[in-house]
Amino acid sequence: MDSAHDIREESTMNSSVSSHSIGHQEIERLVTLFYRKVREDRQLGPLFHEVLLSEEAWSQHNDRMVSFWRSVMCGEGWYKGNPKKVHMELEPFDLMLFEHWLVLFEESTRELFSQEISALFMNKSRAIAAVLKATLKRVR
């Protein structure tokens, strides 16, 4: 899995958000809100702070995640990274943190979007988390 497109394909979630119902600004608001929660979170915050050492690093991460979610949700090919590789290069961490990540992400989607749009984001995010967890289990 080398890109958000590959994650989208592997997740087998065929529903996507119409470009008319959600766009760059909405995704940017979601990512900003979510990572504000992550930064303040007692479980996830320290993990992210180990990697993102400056405000500039956080800003770059935020921009990458906006591109990632635009690619996943809208089919726009903005993201060119490799999520599996990025997560494999991290120091080993408790894979149950993916569940906590999902709780914060769902909280964020529900604050900003309708139930239908939130459900679309959550279907994608759960599938992505499952793929990443399975990958990390294999390499550890």
Q: For residue 65, name the pLDDT band (cuts at 50, 70, 90).
A: very high
pLDDT at residue 67 tops 90 = yes
Please give the domain boundaries of the chain with CATH numbers for all domains.
22-139 (1.10.490.10)
Query: Quick one: pLDDT at residue 91?
Result: 72
Tokens 């988390």 locate to 129
The shares of helix, strand and coil residues in the chain, as percent rounded to the nearest 5, are 70, 0, 30
* 1-60 tens-digit pLDDT: 454 445 544 443 444 555 447 888 999 999 999 999 999 999 999 999 988 999 999 999
Q: Kindly state the DSSP code that residue 84 receives in the 8-state scheme.
A: H
- CA-based nearest residue to 133, from 87, 65, 69: 87
The amino acid sitting at 80 is K
Provide the mean pLDDT of the chain. Answer: 85
pLDDT at residue 63 tops 50 = yes
Among 28-32, 55-59, 86-90, 133-137, the minimum mean pLDDT is found in 86-90
